[in-house]
Structure 1
């Protein structure tokens, strides 16, 4: 494949498919009228609908629509603003956070949101030990001072804790309702809580919508919460319709079968003639990455620093952007996304085939080796991961690494990469809130953190994690912008040097929607804020 062949191929293919598909009747229901639910076409990656267990991009959309958080993120994607908490105070050492709940806040069954619900929710999030549990790693205690006052104490200074409380996974749950259906916040909740199935059919939040019905691999249906204590949504409901590929999503938008299409890539958008629809490219904090796990039991050779460096040098980063999104994206140097604290003036990723070959030879693999590349079989942020995998396969083939490609369902991939189980994988990440600590926690080599465990921190040479942990605590203790920038910049450089997480492309996001729909925007915490959408 030539470096720029994919955009031309994609344009011709998309045009042909779009032309042919409009000759056929489309089976999906038409998008609703102005007073009906809107239809959102997207490839859904749902692993759970329980706020403490769910961890996916679609989960962000769902949770932020159904479960209100103490705080939320303004449209500028940086400013923290009130939600359930109408005011708050932070101690000078950023370890104690006091929140005063809005007395008007109620759950969808009409019962008031109390400090006891906040305490139960955050303790449960920590104890369930699901994907988003890392957000509560610094949680020491939660105290309900009275029904409307809650005091949260962190084990160490945490200047990002307010941002964390805007993450949709911290959405406050109606504890009485959930407890009556198998949920609990006990220390052993990871094994004793039996509510996951109940959450797939019911919601217990204080958000603008409630769950109507979820059908796996088909649709997620929400209806307006008529008892919502805030500004009520202008639309009566939302149907998130499982739609795997960008071409079909664009077709649904053009025909009116969908009001919003969420994963139309820039290439496909250029092929669509739709005077009734808008396709708007905006920068995002989303990215797709390659991950190398030296501790994986199935690693074909020791994935030493030299081997990891060789893999990173063999990748054609500019070509990947051309190949996957037609050039409509950016290189990303570190696992902390462009535009977040610490990312100014980071060194750009470098491609160097000869140097990569030298490093492989030095590591004892002059002829390369064979390895499997596992990835979710889906389209994310307009990137077809199957096409990206083919490009990575081509790039590494130039240094003798022969990749076999293993596309799997998202839930299988999420399970496989743990324990640690996959030596080489593709993944993707959207921010949970505006703040760099989440990336250091999730992707950094900190003892006990997700990718550190998968990489083998403490057992693999050069990955002891102690120095990064000290750097991380220093970053969290920094309270002014300049000190935070410096601390996270130093951490970003270390993460680049580790070559465990290798970002491949930060694609621009295509906001695609019918012209009679307004309020569609990209959110760094919530992906797509459904409560702001209106339809004429």
Structure 2
């Protein structure tokens, strides 16, 4: 059913059961409009566990209800958040952390060192940086209710950086009970440590997700900067509205029925021009990177020639033109680490200079021994850039000789299906499209999608021993110059074995109505510090 503005307005105060969602505290009162922010974000919220998935919508949800041991400031430097103080032993192997006073979960119980250790261990089983750290971990002893340690087998200088990073997966702190859930299974209860409480009773699955101010949360005293400092909540409620029809969302923000659209359709931005109460602002200054993942577990992309064929057939900017139109909003991307990051380099990018080269793609596909079997391409029709990427890249794949089976659904269904390792004709897949913050791509270790450790890794499950060795080498480097040189080596190797592909980098503004104090950052839309009116 297509959402209309009339249906949206009529449903403004509706409540309903959250089908198959975790249990949580139910707030009963409805705050006034002037104390409520209604935001249309980039997709539906299907998964509530930020460790089980790297989906940005899930991390947005988690940023509302959970807090972090460390945040980052506007220079991406780690800053204590739930931690009050910490130290590193002389041999640089033992980190000792003490929690600050007043930390409580949304059910009123205190946050303890045991909760933190369990949360770190669960996060470390799934996150790229966490996995790298945990492979060198000796122990995580709990000294008392407020003090715990991370003891490494060898000196390891990235512990605090990994705990502080805002790129998915984020090390959010859960109760020990939830954090003891198998990291390959989703949690079933949301009891958070953060500034908001997830209000299940006011949720309408697929349409509306509601967060109320957490009365048990004590913010830090410092000003809010990125994910660090005082996460002061200035409203009583934030509602994530899922409005798939872009024209409906534009009409609603003009009428004052919603307060924010994360990604308004660029073609409709002119309709907002001259609106005195609406401003357009790029929140993620580094931009987003369009990302195509291919499945290494099944033909044809278990063959390197088939993956190289994909590298040559994707046009570096045509998907962006179809989505954003105006070239001021996008650019092509040739670096494995995104354009404009410290690790950006030009190693092994001849393919980019000549792309698209359909004839070269045809040749490589033939050399791969491709047998004509259907190639399942997942198409998220409710997100414009993903929809356009699927349509255009499927067309180019057909021109190169792939037998493409384009399978349409919404993004929530893609998030669920991409975790399936079965063969494509048994519910699995061959290609899906997503995106990530350019900031995240700039780190070859912390981004889960940069791993090439096979079935232990991120969706697509690439495998390359040299790549993993070079990532370890990068993590152990002592200077920025060393890391930049190793990044060149990583990229030189990666564009030969092709772990994944990119289809453009973009800078899309958000539309904000009478909102002030919204902190622009990669990876997250933070609703603390925001005032309405």
TM-score if structure 1 supplies the norm length? Answer: 0.79
Shift of 1:167: 4.3
- Map residues 247-262 of structure 1 onto 2, 5 A cutoff: 247-262=247-262
Q: Distance in 2 between matches of 1:314 and 1:161?
A: 40
- Map residues 169-318 of structure 1 onto 2, 5 A cutoff: 169-175=170-176, 179=177, 183=178, 185=180, 189=182, 196-199=187-190, 203-205=191-193, 207-213=194-200, 214-230=203-219, 231=230, 232-273=232-273, 274-281=275-282, 283-296=285-298, 299=299, 301=300, 303-318=302-317
Alignment check: 8 A CA contact 2:38 2:258 kept:
yes
Shift of 1:264: 1.4
- Map residues 250-399 of structure 1 onto 2, 5 A cutoff: 250-273=250-273, 274-281=275-282, 283-296=285-298, 299=299, 301=300, 303-326=302-325, 327=327, 328-345=329-346, 347=349, 349-350=352-353, 351=355, 352-363=357-368, 371-379=375-383, 383-399=384-400
The aligned residue for residue 222 of structure 2 is none
1:231-290 CA deviation, whole Å, 9 max, x = no partner? 431111201111224333222211211111112133332343433211223533432222
Matched residue SS, 1:532: coil
Gaps of 5+ in 1: 1-16, 458-464
In structure 2, the CA distance between the partners of 1:453 and 1:504, relative to structure 1 (3 Å rule), is closer
Given the alignment, which residue of 164, 167, 188 partners 1:166? 164
Kindly indicate whether residue 532 of structure 2 is the aligned counterpart of residue 528 of structure 1: no
Alignment check: 8 A CA contact 1:41 1:260 kept:
yes
Q: Distance in 2 between matches of 1:433 and 1:146?
A: 34
1:170-219 CA deviation, whole Å, 9 max, x = no partner? 221233xxx3xxx3627xx358x8x83333xxx231x1111122432121
Alignment check: 8 A CA contact 2:292 2:503 kept:
yes
Q: Distance in 2 between matches of 1:285 and 1:439?
A: 18
Alignment check: 8 A CA contact 2:372 2:403 kept:
yes
The aligned residue for residue 18 of structure 2 is none
Q: Distance in 2 between matches of 1:59 and 1:284?
A: 21
1:121-159 CA deviation, whole Å, 9 max, x = no partner? 223434xx5x54873452222222233322113456554
Shift of 1:229: 1.2
Shift of 1:292: 2.1
Shift of 1:315: 1.4
The aligned residue for residue 81 of structure 1 is 79
Q: Distance in 1 between matches of 2:268 and 2:93?
A: 48
Q: Distance in 2 between matches of 1:411 and 1:452?
A: 15
In structure 2, the CA distance between the partners of 1:26 and 1:211, relative to structure 1 (3 Å rule), is closer
The aligned residue for residue 37 of structure 1 is 36
Q: Distance in 2 between matches of 1:293 and 1:93?
A: 42
The aligned residue for residue 461 of structure 1 is none
Aligned length: 483
Matched residue SS, 1:454: coil
Alignment check: 8 A CA contact 2:289 2:438 kept:
no
1:472-500 CA deviation, whole Å, 9 max, x = no partner? 11111123222222223322332222223
Shift of 1:405: 1.2
Greater shift, 223-232 or 432-441, is seen at 432-441
Shift of 1:363: 4.0
Given the alignment, which residue of 427, 444, 447 partners 2:434? 427
Shift of 1:85: 1.2
Kindly indicate whether residue 10 of structure 2 is the aligned counterpart of residue 27 of structure 1: yes
In structure 2, the CA distance between the partners of 1:125 and 1:146, relative to structure 1 (3 Å rule), is same
Q: Distance in 1 between matches of 2:154 and 2:264?
A: 42
Q: Distance in 2 between matches of 1:308 and 1:485?
A: 26
The aligned residue for residue 484 of structure 1 is 483
Shift of 1:394: 2.6
The aligned residue for residue 100 of structure 1 is 98
Matched residue SS, 1:117: helix
Q: Distance in 2 between matches of 1:490 and 1:92?
A: 32
Q: Distance in 2 between matches of 1:98 and 1:408?
A: 47
Gaps of 5+ in 2: 14-29, 220-229, 423-427
Matched residue SS, 1:98: strand
In structure 2, the CA distance between the partners of 1:310 and 1:102, relative to structure 1 (3 Å rule), is same
CA RMSD for the aligned pairs?
3.4
The aligned residue for residue 226 of structure 2 is none
TM-score if structure 2 supplies the norm length? Answer: 0.80
The aligned residue for residue 25 of structure 2 is none
Alignment check: 8 A CA contact 2:297 2:461 kept:
yes
Q: Distance in 2 between matches of 1:60 and 1:315?
A: 29
Alignment check: 8 A CA contact 1:38 1:259 kept:
yes
The aligned residue for residue 501 of structure 1 is 500
The aligned residue for residue 68 of structure 1 is 67
The aligned residue for residue 111 of structure 2 is 113
Shift of 1:390: 1.3
In structure 2, the CA distance between the partners of 1:440 and 1:277, relative to structure 1 (3 Å rule), is closer
In structure 2, the CA distance between the partners of 1:49 and 1:359, relative to structure 1 (3 Å rule), is closer
In structure 2, the CA distance between the partners of 1:345 and 1:221, relative to structure 1 (3 Å rule), is same
